[in-house]
Structure 1
Amino acid sequence: MIRVNIDVMLAKRKMSVTELSEKVGITMANISILKNDKAKAVRFDTLSKICEALDCQPGDILEYVED
């Protein structure tokens, strides 16, 4: 399973979900889906925009966890 650690990076950057949503250009609902590990996929361009907004690498957000 891939865990999405957006909440960790948001806390480190002292950024709100609303602010991230505005910077990335996706809805708060979609950020919540990612944040709550409910997403089945994420587009590379979306991941790239999230990394740009949070000034991080994909590995800072995505983590493999054994089931």
Structure 2
Amino acid sequence: MPVIVNLDVMMAKRKVSSKALAAAIGITEANLSLLKRGKVKGVRFATLEAICQHLRCQPGDILIYEEGQQEAMGDE
């Protein structure tokens, strides 16, 4: 997938645990884990907004588009 999720990187920079972020934005730790690993098909704008607000960042700090990534990773 050419969209890379760097949520774990931003969480580490802000020193925020998965448990704390999940509680703050109102989702389960399991769903946050899936999002961090890029194993979701979509994310609600309200969730993205809550993450950015809590981590004091921009969506582009979390989601990065890298062209040609799918060919490098194979068909997943």
Query: What's 1:25 paired with?
Result: 26
Which contiguous aligned blocks of 4+ residues in structure 1 show a shift greater than 4 angstroms? none
Percent identity reads 55
Number of positions where the alignment pairs a residue of Structure 1 with one of Structure 2: 67
Cα offset for 1:2?
1.0
Deviation string for 1:1-57 (max 9, x for gaps)? 211111000100011000000110100011001101101000000000000010000
TM-score, normalised relative to structure 1:
0.95
User: Where does the alignment leave 5 or more consecutive residues of structure 2 unmatched?
Assistant: 71-76
Query: What's 2:56 paired with?
Result: 55
- Distance in 2 separating the partners of 1:2 and 1:42: 12
- Distance in 2 separating the partners of 1:40 and 1:57: 20
CA RMSD, aligned part only?
A: 0.7
Rg larger for: 2
